């Protein structure tokens, strides 16, 4: 016999639908669907009416439920955290068309378009416009707005990408950090930037800088952040950045 999910609470059994909240109605609806033993579930934003704490708890419950009953679930959501934490595969749609499909980490680490890259991740990816430069030594990105030249690691960009091609460099906050030491790691770019804004979250702090005139968010260790107005050395892991064709918005 299938075990009832832990969020099915008997105090709700004696109430009429108008006597329970929107969030309780959503949870009751899930329980009513489960007892019918369907071959497939369709969840259409089932956690939208819940507060933040209960939404976090319910994500865990649905994940355990999926594991226990081993039934296909199609889960519709606009919340990228729900998509990343619950899905085995994500189908990311835009204007009714599939933008990219694959495993959550595949979409997160290898986004096919700027739309996918900007949708997944919090804080979201920063997009830095620039132009591709090729020399005998390799390829680099010269950022717009008098930005720095960032030398790309060998093999990081396709041969078909032409000299002077307008590109977009996508950098996630976790790939920007306070640089230590005199020598950078392979594929690391070093620069100096002034802190404009700090947003502490506890163990980490989100710091905002400007690179080539574009606001950039870095995820720093709480005690590495410094203070607004201070100029600190930054490292950018160019092995982990994403590169897009500025004309098509698609990955190079």
The fold of 10-88 is: Rossmann fold (3.40.50)
Per residue in 158-203, pLDDT (tens digit) is 666 677 889 999 999 999 998 877 666 778 899 999 999 999 988 8
Token pair belonging to 216: 């950039």
Bridge partners, 42 (sequence order): 74
pLDDT reported for residue 1: 47
**pLDDT (tens digit, 9 = 90+) per residue, 61-74?**
888 888 888 889 99
Residues of the chain with CATH 2.40.50.140: 126-245
142-162: per-residue pLDDT in tens? 998 877 888 888 877 766 667
Mapped onto helix, strand or coil, the DSSP state of residue 17 is: helix
The per-residue pLDDT of the chain, averaged, comes to 86
In contact, 170 and 117? CB cutoff 8 Å: yes
pTM of the model: 0.81
Provide, rounded to the nearest whole percent, the portion of the chain with pLDDT above 70.
Answer: 92
Class of domain 126-245 as given by CATH: mainly beta
CB-based contact 190:234 (threshold 8 Å):
yes
């Amino acid at each position: 016999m299938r075990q009832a999910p832990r969020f099915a609470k008997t105090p709700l059994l004696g109430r009429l639908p108008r006597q329970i909240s929107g969030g309780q109605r959503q949870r009751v609806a899930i329980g009513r669907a489960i007892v019918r033993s369907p071959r497939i579930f369709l969840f259409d934003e089932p956690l939208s009416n819940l507060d933040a704490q209960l939404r976090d708890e319910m994500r865990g419950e649905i994940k355990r439920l999926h594991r226990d009953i081993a039934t296909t679930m199609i889960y519709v959501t606009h919340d990228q955290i729900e998509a990343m934490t619950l899905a085995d595969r994500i189908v990311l749609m835009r204007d009714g068309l599939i933008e990219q499909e694959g495993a959550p980490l595949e979409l997160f680490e290898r986004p096919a378009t700027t739309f996918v890259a900007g949708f997944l991740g919090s804080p979201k990816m920063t997009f830095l416009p620039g132009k591709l430069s090729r020399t005998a030594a390799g390829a680099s990105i010269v950022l717009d707005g008098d930005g720095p030249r960032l030398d790309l690691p060998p093999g990081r960009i396709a041969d078909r990408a032409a000299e002077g091609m307008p590109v977009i460099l996508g950098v996630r906050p976790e790939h920007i950090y306070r640089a230590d030491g005199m020598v950078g790691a392979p594929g690391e770019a070093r620069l100096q930037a002034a802190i404009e804004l700090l947003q502490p979250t506890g163990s980490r702090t989100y710091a905002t800088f400007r690179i080539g005139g574009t606001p950039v968010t870095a995820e720093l260790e709480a005690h590495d952040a410094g203070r607004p107005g201070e100029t600190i050395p930054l490292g950018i892991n160019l092995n982990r950045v994403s590169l897009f064709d500025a004309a098509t918005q698609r990955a190079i």
